[in-house]
Amino acid sequence: MADTQYDLIVVGGGPGGYVAAIRAAQLGMKAAVVEREHLGGICLNWGCIPTKALLRSSEIKHLIDHAEEFGLSVGDVTFDVKKIVQRSRGVAKQLNQGVGHLLKKNKVDVIMGSGALAGGGKLTVTDADGTKSEMSADHIILATGARARSLPGLEPDGKLIWTYKEAMVPETMPKSLLVIGSGAIGIEFASFYSDLGADVTVVEVMDRVLPVEDEEISNMARKAFEKQGMTIHTGAKVSGLKTGSDNVTATVEMGDGKTEEITVDRVILAVGITGNVENIGLEDTAVEVDKGHVVINEWMETGEPGVYAIGDLAGPPWLAHKASHEGVICVEKIAGEKTHPLNTALIPGCTYCRPQVASVGMTEAKAREAGHDVKVGRFPFLGNGKAIALGDAEGMIKTVFDANTGELLGAHMIGAEVTELIQGYMVGKTLETTEAELMEAVFPHPTLSEMMHESVLDAYGRAIHF
């Protein structure tokens, strides 16, 4: 390592870390990224990107299974799970290399190793051989991400009881599967394995699946999943797992107080994540850790001068795009640029199950709890020509407005490609739009986006096509 003195060092090369380093370089800082495993972090290598590649394979299989509805004749459909996994890993590798290219292009140094704070603006880096070296910088950003959380008695073994990592690279296709947790990660895996023919059971401790979503959307999602053949247990808890030679028996405490045993080939744990706060030198600093996450202020500053934290390490929402924006804001504040704190109400959430789910802002219930007098609009996919032409007319778009000011408080969607549509409402919220601008906007025909217009119109009693 020729250089040891930098303006900024980022510990972690995920979507928060590498973006922060590139922005720092753009602002004239001498920047470095310390990464212990792979550029792009969990998101690019073991999360957001490769899971979408997997889901694309299961989506195509689903379409082929229904080819006759489109006037097409297809023989017996088979698949090779190893090739599906191989494609997913190839996509991740391509993007990993792309991140490396971007950092090199922006003259950001990449140091492979594990970084730990050493006090006084210093960072100790330990490489794969155990060799230690020291770097220093006026500013150090911790972007070490998070890992899957486990619960007592429900620990993963990597063979029969999986975390997301094992679930992404199955050597064979399980005939039956239990998914514990119905947040975005759990439901995406449930959708992938179900569409490839596995008998999938989902257990969720909350009273509904996708519990952070609007209640109407959650209810529609559950009906869709059960129609596809999934078994859903809400208000239920897995109290124990017993492994056999090639299966797992789960003890499930149902919502009605009864206990059932469910035997499956494999179990996927999707019960949340916890920040990677260990072994990064926090012990002798003023950095505060709360419930597995580093505490920060609105500028991503920790309690230790010159030390910052971004992304999953700094807590929810655990989303790559949140991490990237935190990285940019943090660096711009350090550089003295005009910037703004991150408004979490403007962070969209997307779940890539089938049907897709996306949202931004307040649910109807949260808006009412906050004291808003609300107007709510809804428009079904069944009323949209493009959705019917696609053969995918299951879903709804829901909008929530303040009845007095017309402010768009929240938008909630379920159906085909809603993860692409949600950005329209996010831009609207960022621009502080009201119903007037949205109603006056011209939406192209025939598109799924027309439903966004109609949902707004419906909130004010003006829907045309339903």
Q: Based on the domain organization, do 325 and 360 belong to the same domain? A: no
3-class SS at 7?
strand
Q: Based on the domain organization, do 418 and 443 belong to the same domain? A: yes
Q: Estimate the crossing angle of helix 48-65 against helix 81-105, to 10 degrees.
A: 140
366-372-378 Cα angle (round to 5): 70
Q: Based on the domain organization, do 193 and 45 belong to the same domain? A: no
Comparing C-alpha atoms, which of 80, 85, 63 is closest to residue 72? 63
Q: Based on the domain organization, do 200 and 237 belong to the same domain? A: yes
Q: Residue 466: pLDDT band by 50, 70, 90 thresholds?
A: confident
Q: What is the mean pLDDT of residues 245-250?
A: 97
In this model, does residue 439 exceed pLDDT 90?
Answer: yes
In a domain, residue 155? The reply is: no
Measuring CA to CA, how many Å separate 239 from each of 152, 250, 274, 340? 9, 8, 21, 45
Domain enclosing residue 266, as ranges: 161-271
392-422 burial, b at 16+ Cβ within 10 Å, e below that, comes to: bbbbbbbbbbbeeebbbbbbbbbbbbbbebb
pLDDT tens digit string along 131-150? 999 999 999 999 999 999 88
In a domain, residue 153? The reply is: no
Pairing of strands 293-294, 289-290: antiparallel
The Cα 248–Cα 244 span in angstroms is 6
pLDDT tens digit string along 22-46? 999 999 999 999 999 999 988 889 8
Comparing C-alpha atoms, which of 50, 39, 51 is closest to residue 14? 39
Q: Residue 323: pLDDT band by 50, 70, 90 thresholds?
A: very high
3-class SS at 282?
coil
Q: Based on the domain organization, do 278 and 143 belong to the same domain? A: yes
pLDDT tens digit string along 51-81? 999 999 999 999 999 999 999 999 999 999 9
pLDDT tens digit string along 162-179? 999 999 999 999 999 999
Give the bridge partners for 177, in sequence order.
Answer: 200, 266
pLDDT reported for residue 217: 98
445 is annotated as an active-site residue: yes
pLDDT tens digit string along 326-343? 999 999 999 999 999 999
- Whichever domain contains 359, its CATH number is 3.30.390.30
Which helix (H) or strand (E) is 100 found in, with range? helix 81-105
- Whichever domain contains 262, its CATH number is 3.50.50.60
Task: Note whether 349 and 360 are within 8 A (CB).
Answer: yes
Q: Based on the domain organization, do 98 and 110 belong to the same domain? A: yes
pLDDT reported for residue 309: 98
19-33 burial, b at 16+ Cβ within 10 Å, e below that, comes to: bbbbbbbebebbbbb
Give the bridge partners for 380, in sequence order.
Answer: 396
The Cα 438–Cα 362 span in angstroms is 18
Query: What are the backbone angles phi and psi of residue 442, rounded to the nearest 5°?
Result: -95, 120
Q: What is the mean pLDDT of residues 203-216?
A: 97
The secondary structure of residue 345, as a DSSP letter, is G
Query: What are the backbone angles phi and psi of residue 323, rounded to the nearest 5°?
Result: -60, -45
Q: Based on the domain organization, do 327 and 384 belong to the same domain? A: no
pLDDT reported for residue 133: 94
Q: Residue 18: pLDDT band by 50, 70, 90 thresholds?
A: very high
Q: Based on the domain organization, do 182 and 43 belong to the same domain? A: no
In a domain, residue 152? The reply is: no
3-class SS at 331?
helix
Q: Based on the domain organization, do 228 and 340 belong to the same domain? A: no
In a domain, residue 215? The reply is: yes
In this model, does residue 265 exceed pLDDT 60?
Answer: yes
What does the chain come to in residues?
466
In a domain, residue 349? The reply is: no
Comparing C-alpha atoms, which of 10, 24, 197, 217 is closest to residue 115? 10
The Cα 159–Cα 155 span in angstroms is 11
Among 236, 253, 271, the domain boundary falls at: 271
In a domain, residue 350? The reply is: no
- DSSP codes, 44-69: HHHSHHHHHHHHHHHHHHHHHHTGGG
For the chain, state the CA radius of gyration: 24
Task: Identify the active-site residue in 101, 372, 445, 465.
Answer: 445
Specify the number of domains making up the chain.
3
Task: Say what percent of the chain tops pLDDT 90.
Answer: 94
Q: What is the mean pLDDT of residues 221-246?
A: 97
Considering only the C-alpha atoms of the chain, give the largest distance between any 2 of them, rounded to a whole number of Å: 69
Cα 220 to its chain centre, rounded Å, is 20
pLDDT tens digit string along 342-382? 998 899 999 999 999 999 999 999 999 999 999 999 999 99
Q: Based on the domain organization, do 244 and 293 belong to the same domain? A: no
Among 246, 271, 296, the domain boundary falls at: 271
Among 252, 271, 290, the domain boundary falls at: 271
Token code pair at residue 439: 């109603």
3-class SS at 86?
helix
319-354 burial, b at 16+ Cβ within 10 Å, e below that, comes to: bbbbbbbbbbbbbbbbbeeeeeebeeeebbbbbbbb
pLDDT reported for residue 2: 52
In a domain, residue 466? The reply is: no
Token code pair at residue 347: 């962070």
In a domain, residue 33? The reply is: yes
Output the average pLDDT for the chain. 96
Token code pair at residue 405: 């000011």
Q: Based on the domain organization, do 307 and 319 belong to the same domain? A: yes
Question: Global pTM?
Answer: 0.95
Q: Based on the domain organization, do 183 and 255 belong to the same domain? A: yes
Cα 136 to its chain centre, rounded Å, is 33
